Structure 1
């Protein structure tokens, strides 16, 4: 078996610049030729997934109650238990690491398009540029996810020397790669997004699994927020919201019991009638976790996260339940005073409108534009809180204190983005500020585990199956 430098497995034959190679169509391999071939790569099942739902197990949003029945710690697979107890060595050699392998597989799909589509047959030049732009955005998103899992958080003072992840820009699974610095990875992400935006469609005609111009700006807003560049984060949030800004009123949604597939054994109860991510008005560009429900039905909201929700918050009613099923025989609220995370819909965990309002609100709060910050939070909350108890907030409600407003904005961010793979990154970036530093404690099998601010245990170790073929790659501390 041929050894691959990034150790990804794909059934795609990557096109090279060798004419002789192009003259041969290997048996059981697919070589894209037409624009439609390349578009079908973007439409593939591989490309509609994103992220690693396990990562939220590292955060302060998660609680795994123990004791039978209902033991959620032992229910986790071994990698999940290791993450929950802050062990960065998540995978042993020979065991899958979907975040690494699937992300780089998607990057290689994107690179095949980026490197070759302009020479494809059929299709207009405009069409080719548009498809290529979607691939650039996809490559940027994957590199962003990888660098935030396998490296310390971006810090302008150290990013140029801090090791990140390999940047893959060529459609060659046998190429030799190095670990690039965090700065190099972020620079590439920004470059890809900026190159993509002019050619992205304002609205994709096919599906929200395909990219659009607002998605490019949304990505840049996220990247700049992570970098602490709040001016550019706000600027790009503004640009994205100019193109897409509609929020869905969650007061019109309900929990459906027994769910949409009552006659199929083993399917979850407590599903909502919230539209699938690709049909949701709030979705800019849609993706799902590899397992569509993420951590749904597998974790409880931590006592701290539980305390942030009020009973009139529709997110609390729609995405969390007292027990599983959402009725007797087992009730986590009665026993542990927490709720089970029960988000059963195929929600989008990629680029969405609510995040943009939250990004802009944080940027405004940090620049002391308190009224503007709260305007965006109010826009979000009026679509989340029961109308009979909804309150419009003004700076006066926080004694015109910028610190109080900022903390309220960050609390709203935590409520809205819980279990979408954003909390760990937020913890890492906020730990750069002494006022927001916190120590996280998880308890499992009678032992307390602590995650300190800035700890190396925030950083997942590189996948052993990749490093064994790249012994020159320095490992994370």
Structure 2
């Protein structure tokens, strides 16, 4: 469904002036549109403003632009991707672990995310003005709080430690959790621990799960199944494996398909439309030519006219996909550019519409299943973990023999399947981070057979401060109360 941005004074939230603390200062009155107080006397205005919050996820730093897009950042900083010698060197600094407070590759998410949060808080600031009532009011409030929660989660996992990352991570510095609409706020601070931030995220999601009423027909908006899935993700990061299982199973109970073998290619390659297949998708950031024509896949490559890539799949990862794995032909295209043959990542290229204009899968049932499988293993139920793992593998391979892994081999298989399934979906960096693992690249080159130029930097130690990205210098200049992460 098309997401309209409301055209009412600040409610459109498009007249951005400057960054203040963690929110953005926005025009209070527009010369061509009505005052916000008047506009928010109509029920439809709440829907329009909330859709504007979803639209913010398509901004630069979140899921748009070549530089710093979250569609690629979680992979180019790890062992999943390697820079090509024939590319434009976009995002090279981040891929080489050169993070800095004035580089949008790692700071862009911060500003983009707080803008989305500001829009949800604008909706919530009017929720009790008497215009909405009953189920309509509860649904809007639930949806806004769910979206606010997951955007805060994206911020905290990037700029703070993850609770399972190290022994003291839960008590380390968190982020500012913005719960009020205050665009002129310049006194906010990072006054919460990581654990306290997670508690607030979970509280918002639990309220949303209890009160949301809309079904999941529109995958571009929150639903109960999506919120349960998100609770599974957040609790996995928190190290609460019982609740990872509880909410994951609730999500799969409402949306059990993990995308069938027959539909897997279609959910990625068909450009969005009324008949688009969304089998196994719980929540996505909608993106169509009619909406914004955001070429989200261009962070990976462009057709000029032959395919030119900025980053290609690491050879060891590419060869980890067997020939009968539907993901191999769905995720990759092997072709020549400027005399070099590459295994290009074309997961977001689309088919039958404008190139690289496709919706972004933010949460899929397959991830939820993997969350549950890992949690079952870690809570002493390897049999159930293996059953779930085989269920996913059966839907990805045309020739399938159930696995029989046990012990450490089973956990390794679950994590390998997570890497194969969620490659290029902003997962790998955060999986390594939450597990307290190092980045260890293969040393292979960028060409299709593993030859060519390897990555400059091959390793990032698990104890490095760089796992916490730098706060943008502009945010600290606007509000000195925001503490910079150590060593930046």
What pairs up with 1:12-91 in 2 under 5 angstroms?
A: 13=28, 26-28=30-32, 31=36, 32-33=39-40, 34-44=42-52, 46-47=55-56, 49=58, 52-56=70-74, 57-66=76-85, 71-72=86-87, 75-77=88-90, 80-89=91-100, 91=102
Query: How far apart are residue 250 of structure 1 and its match?
Result: 3.5
Conserved 8 A contact 2:153-2:201: yes
Determine helix, strand or coil for the equivalent of 1:87.
coil
Compute the TM-score of the two structures, normalised by the length of structure 2.
0.78
Corresponding residue SS for 1:350: strand
Alpha-carbon RMSD across the aligned residues, in angstroms, is 3.1
Q: Take 2:299 and 2:325, find their aligned partners in 1: how far apart are those partners?
A: 21
Aligned residue for 1:246, secondary structure, equals coil
Q: Deviations over 1:152-189 (max 9, x none)?
A: 22248434541222211111111121013212211110
CA contact (8 A) 2:313 2:345 kept: yes
1:130 aligned partner: 139
Contact 2:188 2:481 in 1 (8 A): no
Which aligned pairs between 1:143-182 and structure 2 lie closer than 5 A? 143-155=152-164, 157-159=167-169, 161-175=171-185, 176-179=187-190, 180-182=192-194
Decide whether the 8 Å contact of 1:217 with 1:236 is kept in 2: yes
Which stretch of structure 1 is more off in the superposition, 29-38 or 99-108?
A: 29-38
Counterpart for residue 272 of structure 1: 269
- For structure 2, list consecutive stretches of 5 or more residues without a partner in the other structure: 1-15, 64-69, 288-293, 302-309, 351-357, 446-452
1:43 alignment partner, SS class: helix
Q: Secondary structure at the match of 1:351?
A: strand
Structure 2 matches for 1:165-204, cutoff 5 A? 165-175=175-185, 176-179=187-190, 180-201=192-213, 203-204=215-216
Any unmatched runs of 5+ in structure 1? Answer: 14-24, 257-270, 333-338
Cα distance in 2 between the residues matched to 1:169 and 1:189: 11
Alignment of 1:72-471 (within 5 A): 72=87, 75-77=88-90, 80-89=91-100, 91-92=102-103, 97-121=107-131, 123-155=132-164, 157-159=167-169, 161-175=171-185, 176-179=187-190, 180-201=192-213, 203-204=215-216, 207-251=218-262, 272-273=269-270, 279-287=277-285, 291-293=295-297, 295-297=299-301, 298-323=310-335, 330-332=340-342, 339-343=343-347, 344-345=349-350, 346-386=358-398, 389-393=399-403, 397-398=404-405, 401-431=406-436, 437=438, 439-440=440-441, 447-471=456-480
Q: CA deviation at 1:331?
A: 1.8
CA contact (8 A) 1:200 1:212 kept: yes
Q: Is the 8 A contact 2:189 2:483 kept in 1?
A: no
Cα–Cα, structure 1 residues 377 and 351, in superposed 2: closer, same or farther, change >3 Å? same
Report the 3-state secondary structure (helix = DSSP H, G, I; strand = E; otherwise coil) of the residue aligned with 1:41.
helix
Change (3 A) 1:446 1:53: closer
CA contact (8 A) 1:221 1:234 kept: yes
Note the C-alpha offset of 1:98. Answer: 3.5
Distance 2:214 2:362 in 1: 18
CA offsets 1:38-87 (integer angstroms, 9 cap, x no match): 11122236245355224221111111132xxxx23xx232xx11110101
How far the C-alpha of 1:465 sits from its partner, in A, is 1.2
Alpha-carbon separation, structure 2, partners of 1:361 and 1:409: 7
